[in-house]
Structure 1
Amino acid sequence: MGSDRKTRQFEKRMAQVLDIRPTRVAEVFQGARPTSLRVNRLLDDQRYAETVEQLRQRAPSVTEVDWCEHGWFWPDQDGFDPVMELAHAGRVYAQNAASLIPPVALDPQPGDAVLDVAAAPGGKAFHLAARTGNQGRLWLNDSAPPRARKLAELAELYGVRYAELTTHNAQYIDKELPPESFDRVLLDVQCSGEGRVNLRRPDALRHWSEERLNKYKFLQTKMLSCGYKLLRPGGTMVYSTCTLSPEENEFPVNKVLGRYPDLTVEPLGFQEPEFLPGLTSWMGERYDRRLAHTTRVMPSELFEGFYVARLVKAG
């Protein structure tokens, strides 16, 4: 498919998904970048306080993320150079603000058994550890051994304690781990990455196609089923992607809701102007009405395009 035709196809699709004019799509899709910092709460109290003070000194306009404890929106004009030595010391973690959402939505508690199915490069996994004060049983998994090795190095840097680090394939992880053994499961899955597309680049859609979306949706449905089988009754699973098409978001969630009647959908419980309700129909196909409680994040100066569903298994 020619690049111009592919761009028009992408713009038409995203205009429908986000309910905006096609002429606005190029303005919206300008690529994701780090826009937030999370101060590592696994630091001792003195070093934590010193780190927060250094952030305030180096960027007086830094603002707290009111729904994410220890999270800060970083002023874009300042860049991250002033705090990179803090990142290299394991004191802060720089990431796009959308990546703060899944750990907050999962809300792990001290004592919980928590599984991060696709944990590398580590930002969300380390956030989970910090939210429990290293008092949960954290199981990290990533299917690629090189990524898993790097994950282990960074976990040491950030003071993260974990029970296990494995390299199981996410599509079959339920065959490798005991059933119903986790209180919380994070499933931040491989996807087509539409939320990070920068239409200012001529090669922005080089790897994008509707065929790819339809390939991923079946893999993602399988991963969701695996996560369900590993989740204890009463447990919570968060499914998230950095993409926007319903094929990779509402479609797999709708499938598992139909397959497992003891699953329910819970809203995030916090809101930003960029947070849109999930769709309940797409291309003539009706979805479970509860998908309106899931969240699609509109790409903006602060957030990359993202999708999050919080699913709870009946106790």
Structure 2
Amino acid sequence: MSLRSKFFFALLALGPLTLRAQTLPRIHSMGNRFVNTQGDTVLFRGLSVADPDKIEREGHWNPALFEHVRDMGATLVRLPVHPSAWRARTPQRYLVLLDSAVRWCGRIGLYVDIDWHSIGNLETGLFQDQIYNTSLQETFSFWRTIAQHFTGNSTVAFYELFNEPTTYNGQLGRVSWSTWKKTNEDLIHLVRSFDRQTVPLVAGFDWAYDLTPLHEEPIDAEGIGYVVHPYPFKRGQPWEPRWDEDFGFAAGKYPVIATEIGFEWKEGDPADGAEHYGTRITQYLEQHGISWVAWVYETTWWPGMLKSWDTWELTGCGRFFRGAMHAAGR
């Protein structure tokens, strides 16, 4: 038996009861905040890693990865699960990866966001790339499996129900907010039949950027949060008034978390300058009480924060987000 096989069978043998022994204080959604069991406001600052399937296949899936994430200043790590990887590895074997991450993170004080990482129109069944291909049935099945498996484990703070809903400017067909609203409400109902405590996260349209439908039709569910991905190319400058209009207003009433922010850094870029996107978006989110997660702690995905797995050397955007998290956490 190979070492990899022994690793998987050993983790399977541990089972969910051992997994639940390593937990952190429960996170809840209250008003427009995320709070801990004492009712104290928790503003998360975190990092997204690559798909765990990719990381494991490349030989880097181990506790050291999450220790480096924590040392960057993160309090939350996002685990993006691509539907194609979920199917190829099989749910049972993919759960082994997630179990190990949750166990490692619980031991070092990192919360976890499990993200169903698809991009496209779930209603029409059309997606931006083959790796994102899924279906309503598979999406509901995924969340039934995840919620049943991780119920009782408070290290898993968030279930991010769908990464980036988009019609791709009509190329993926039409979908109304009312339809998307009902789909998410049905997903939340399903999740809560197994797990009533982990916080579901709902993304807006335009690749998880536009939350303006909340003015008229918020999700009919308590104890949830909303997702935004405010990349610099989403709107022209000046950014701040557009951010106010598109998602910032929602933070006055609901918990909001930017589960992806990021930028490409080039040599000579004033990445820590007052007018730079990185500075402005992190300051904006902090001032509005919006938790944030930087994309992506990885060597090959854009815009990567790592230059090398061997040395853990950071790129310019990696250095920026390390500094931003440490400064904000003081």
- Calculate the TM-score normalised by the size of structure 2: 0.32
Question: TM-score of the superposition, structure 1-length normalised?
Answer: 0.33
